[in-house]
């Protein structure tokens, strides 16, 4: 794989979702027991820290020749720290990478190819998400710690009050819009299907829409579209399929049944409309169950709807363990022991699943009562497992962050009715292709 120098490349933070951390030097120390010391970076939060410390303590007990030094920081600080460390060759020995950025690290030479380890020690069919860390040449660059996968979240109380049947596996995106029309209510109590409905005074939205993962990308894919070609180096944004999908979105926003970017700004965060009771439906990844449960919502999940030709798509983010390219052979072996233990150890998988932040990567644990009948909502967690049958990544490549921002800058004006869909797609296609060319044609 060709490598592009890292220094000088700026990154912007991803929303949502879920794991990052800065690290420190990859220096190795030898004590009287000739221990290997690994620096391990991961995102920092109260519940995660407690569980991670338990897993680390047990791992060190089972592997007395390995000492793990953790370095943590809040998610938002990770990009700045890690970029600086990679530029200086002082990144952690291994870290938990956001799934959308594994390609960035691999294509810039910051992490090791893990194919030989995976082929030797992991039975691929026993795990979810391994292929999401595989490049077009068949090399594996990470092992998922847990999976974020999309589903349709819906508020059962709102559906019951409106006498609207719950979403089913047979729903199309048009069915969703029809239901959203009945579930969108203005300040006077009128729904979007009633005469005199005021779309400028909405107190309850039928469907909340935001960002790439939990907004437009699954809709584009369900309509047969995409952003990049299979090689991930050419823009295919300006296509008839994408136009149909964006037209569908814009129509819903004009009618007021889908929240638009301007109205979304009035909320505390992009996901707030659903747990706050301001939206009846939302596309959400698994981690969104935490906020919904904290709000004590009466909700469940259903498969994301099908497109016009019956195609369904669920977005996946496989947050993954990766090993630094600067790590020497001895520490690489130790780092792989950590990753292998994480993936294969049922106790580790169960502990991580108990946090409720991700779908377990080990299929046997995901299919067990520990996950499916954990006692927390949603009741129909099987929906997340079934979604792997039609799941895919977000066209992630080395410049995912950059082209995603270009899409937002060029297409969101169409969502806000500031330009036409045709004009937006032409501009998006040009600007995304420039981002791709600036990286891939200089390699």
* Residues 148-191: tens digit of each pLDDT: 999 999 999 999 999 999 999 999 999 999 999 999 999 999 99
Average pLDDT, the chain: 91
Beta strands in 143-260 (DSSP E): 143-155, 185-186, 202-208
Question: What tens digit of pLDDT does each residue of 373-417 get?
Answer: 988 999 999 999 999 999 999 999 999 999 999 999 999 999 999
User: Are the C-beta atoms of residues 172 and 161 closer than 8 Å to each other?
Assistant: no
Q: What is the DSSP string of 92-142?
A: -SEEEE-GGGHHHHHHTT-B---HHHHHHH--GGGBSSGGGGB-TTS-B--
Three-state secondary structure call for residue 176: helix
Q: Provide mean pLDDT across the span 286-294.
A: 94
Q: Residue 25: which pLDDT band, with cuts at 50, 70 and 90?
A: very low
**pLDDT number for residue 355:** 86
Q: Beta-carbon neighbour count of residue 423 at 10 Å? A: 13
pLDDT (0 to 100) of residue 34: 80
- Rounded to two decimals, the pTM is 0.90
With a pLDDT cut of 90, the percent of the chain lying above it is 82
Q: What is the share, in percent, of the chain residues with pLDDT greater than 70?
A: 92
pLDDT band at 269 (very low <50, low <70, confident <90, very high): confident
**Please, where are the H alpha helices in 168-225?**
173-183, 217-222
Is pLDDT above 60 for 334? Answer: yes
| CA 99 – CA 232 distance, rounded (Å) | 16
Q: How confident is the model at residue 26 (pLDDT cuts 50, 70, 90)?
A: very low
Q: What is the pLDDT of residue 33?
A: 56
35 near 29, Cβ under 8 Å?
yes
């Amino acid at each position: 794989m060709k490598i592009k120098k890292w220094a000088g490349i700026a990154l912007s933070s991803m929303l949502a979702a879920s794991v990052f951390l800065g690290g420190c030097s990859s220096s190795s120390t030898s004590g009287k027991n000739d221990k290997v010391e690994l620096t391990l970076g991961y995102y920092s939060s109260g519940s995660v820290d407690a569980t991670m410390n338990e897993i680390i303590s047990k791992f060190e007990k089972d592997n007395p020749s390995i000492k793990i030094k953790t370095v943590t920081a809040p998610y938002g600080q990770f990009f700045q720290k890690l970029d600086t460390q990679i530029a200086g060759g002082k990144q952690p020995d291994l870290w938990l990478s956001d799934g959308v950025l594994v390609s960035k690290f691999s294509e810039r030479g910051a992490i090791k190819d893990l194919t030989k380890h995976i082929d030797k020690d992991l039975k691929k069919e026993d795990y979810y998400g391994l292929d999401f860390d595989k490049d077009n040449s068949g090399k594996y660059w990470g092992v998922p710690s847990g999976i974020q996968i999309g589903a349709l979240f819906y508020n059962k109380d709102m559906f019951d009050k409106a006498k609207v049947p719950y979403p089913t596996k047979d729903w199309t995106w048009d069915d969703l819009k029809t239901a959203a029309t009945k579930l969108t209510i203005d300040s006077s109590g009128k729904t979007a299907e009633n005469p005199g409905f005021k779309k400028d005074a909405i107190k309850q939205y039928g469907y909340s829409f935001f960002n790439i993962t939990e907004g437009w990308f699954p809709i584009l894919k369900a309509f047969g579209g995409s952003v990049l070609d299979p090689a991930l180096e050419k823009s295919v944004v300006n296509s008839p399929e994408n136009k149909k999908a964006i037209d569908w979105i814009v129509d819903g926003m004009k009618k007021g049944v889908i929240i638009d970017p301007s109205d979304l700004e009035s909320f505390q965060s992009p996901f707030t409309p659903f747990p706050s009771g301001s939206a009846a439906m939302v596309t959400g990844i698994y981690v969104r169950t935490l906020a919904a449960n904290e709000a004590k919502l009466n909700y469940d999940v259903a498969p994301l709807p099908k497109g016009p030709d019956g195609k369904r798509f669920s977005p996946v983010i496989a947050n993954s363990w990766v090993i630094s390219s600067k790590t020497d052979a001895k520490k690489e072996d130790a780092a792989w022991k950590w990753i292998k233990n994480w993936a294969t150890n049922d106790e580790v998988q169960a502990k991580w699943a108990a946090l409720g932040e991700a779908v377990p990567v080990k299929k046997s644990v995901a299919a067990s009562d520990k996950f499916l009948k954990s006692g927390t909502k949603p009741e129909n967690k099987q929906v997340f497992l079934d979604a792997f049958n039609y799941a895919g990544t977000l066209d992630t490549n080395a410049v995912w962050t950059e082209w995603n921002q270009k899409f937002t800058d060029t297409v969101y004006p169409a969502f806000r009715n500031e330009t036409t869909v045709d004009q937006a797609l032409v501009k998006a296609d040009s600007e995304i292709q420039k981002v791709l060319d600036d990286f891939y044609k200089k390699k």
